[in-house]
Amino acid sequence: MTTAIIITFCTLLLVAYLFNLSSARTKVPSVILLLILGWALKRGVEYFEINVPDLAAILPVLATAGLILIVLEGSLELRLNKSKIPLIKQSVLGALVPMLGLSLLLAYVFSLIGEYSLLRCLTNTVPLCIISSAIAVPSVSNLSEFDREFVIYESSLSDILGVLFFNFVVLYDSIGASSFGHFSIQLVAIIIISFVATLGLALLIRRIDHHVKFIPIILLVILIYTILKIYHLPALIFILIFGLFIGNVNQLRWFAWIDRLKLDVLETESVKFKDLTIELAFLVRALFFILFGFLLETSEILNLQTLIWSVGIVALFFLVRSIQLKISRLPFKPLLFVAPRGLITILLFLNVPLTQQIPWVNNSLIIQIILLTAVVMAVGIMTTDTEEEEEFETVDESSIEQKKLSNS
């Protein structure tokens, strides 16, 4: 029995790795293939009548670990310099405004239909409106540099801002000056704690000489995140600050006090830390989506009662996204299609208190929205011509140069 489990486990992860490699040529996001693999595995287990214990309790654990590693991986990829300021502004607007607008709009619709309070409905709609970096980031590895960077910034910020907003509406019974004041104090506290913890972890990365070095650091990151969550602090901000610091060590040389960390050594070690984080993120992400596919019920996927709602909500997502891209003067293709829901949606949905749940936002709706947005993204990426992307980049760069010449 033990041998069969080991063989199955290793085979599944190797297949997941092959999916990751093949996505560069097929342009099919590996996440969709992992979901299909998990679903097919469940059908095989049922056909051969193999007894499998209930694995549902593992899903939130993998989701939390995956969220930490994926946001850390994304923040390690981000580069902070003056040339990135316009891109960061566009990403913040793209992550925040549609999420707030869609959450409030859907909450208002559900409150009219079910006569629930707007705040209760908002608790249920926020998870639906967050772009999942767990699906978006690995799916755009073959796109142009601009598109890839925009998706990394936008989806990572969407995760972080979405969790902040969700925690805000869950923690407070009413929204007013006192709740905003208390939340502002939490933000200041988490920023201070994050900087102190980041400097401490950076010092450990530089000073630990033992051959086992980075796993303890990652365990400390997860431990700090979990402790901050116990006190209802927005812990993802810590992950973002830590990742940005480690990933941009070479940009920090103009701080006089930073030299005490011996940046040359820290920069070399940060590259190794990033490589390990990427591999761990792949492992946890693959396990999560295989397990999620395994737990999918065909009846929930084909639930016609929620399918109309799912299609309508997804259509609204992409309508709002098209308006956002138009206002931001960003290319429609492929960015219009890259707005998947996934790991973060599931994690927050599982954290909605029982007393605040509403009947319309259920397993079937969540699953259908995740699958629909993933399929739309897959079709969009598969139909994107790389030559067109390069042409857009060339035109965009040449127009910037012309503006510089005319200004001079």
Residue type, 108: Y
Read off the pLDDT of each residue in 108-127 and give the average, rounded to a whole number: 92
Domain boundaries, the chain: 22-407
Residues 337 and 331 sit within 8 Å (Cβ to Cβ): no
Give me the pLDDT at residue 114, please.
82
Which residues, other chains included, contact 399 with Cβ-Cβ below 8 Å and sequence gap of 6+?
Answer: none
Give the angle 362-309-139 at the CA atoms, nearest 5°.
Answer: 80
Where does the pLDDT of residue 259 fall: very low under 50, low under 70, confident under 90, or very high at 90 and above?
A: low
Residue given tokens 């009548």 in the structure block: 49
CA proximity to 136, closest of 5, 29, 244: 29
What's the pLDDT tens digit per position in 375-401? 999 888 888 765 444 444 444 444 444
Which pair of tokens denotes residue 314? 């997804």
Whole-number average pLDDT of the chain? 86
Distance between alpha carbon 378 and the CA centroid of its chain, in Å?
17
394 CB-contact burial (10 Å; exposed 0-12 / middle 13-18 / buried 19+): exposed
Architecture of domain 22-407: Up-down Bundle (1.20)
What torsion do the CA atoms of 245, 249, 254, 259 make, to the nearest 10 degrees? Answer: 100
> Distance between the two ends of the chain, CA-based, in angstroms?
73
Give me the pLDDT at residue 404, please.
41
Give me the pLDDT at residue 22, please.
84
What's the pLDDT tens digit per position in 352-367? 998 999 999 999 999 9
- Residue 221 burial (CB count, 10 A): 21
* Spatial separation of the C-alpha atoms in residues 229 and 89, rounded to whole Å: 28
CA proximity to 378, closest of 140, 21, 81, 64: 140
Read off the pLDDT of each residue in 210-219 and give the average, rounded to a whole number: 90
Give me the pLDDT at residue 75, please.
83
Residue type, 302: L
Share of the chain above pLDDT 70, in %: 91
Give 249's DSSP letter. Answer: G
Residues 39 and 302 sit within 8 Å (Cβ to Cβ): no
Read off the pLDDT of each residue in 140-155 and give the average, rounded to a whole number: 85
Give me the pLDDT at residue 32, please.
85
CA proximity to 160, closest of 192, 195, 187: 187
What's the pLDDT tens digit per position in 173-196? 777 788 888 888 988 999 999 999
Share of the chain above pLDDT 90, in %: 42
What's the pLDDT tens digit per position in 77-96? 777 777 888 888 888 888 99
What's the pLDDT tens digit per position in 261-272? 666 777 888 889
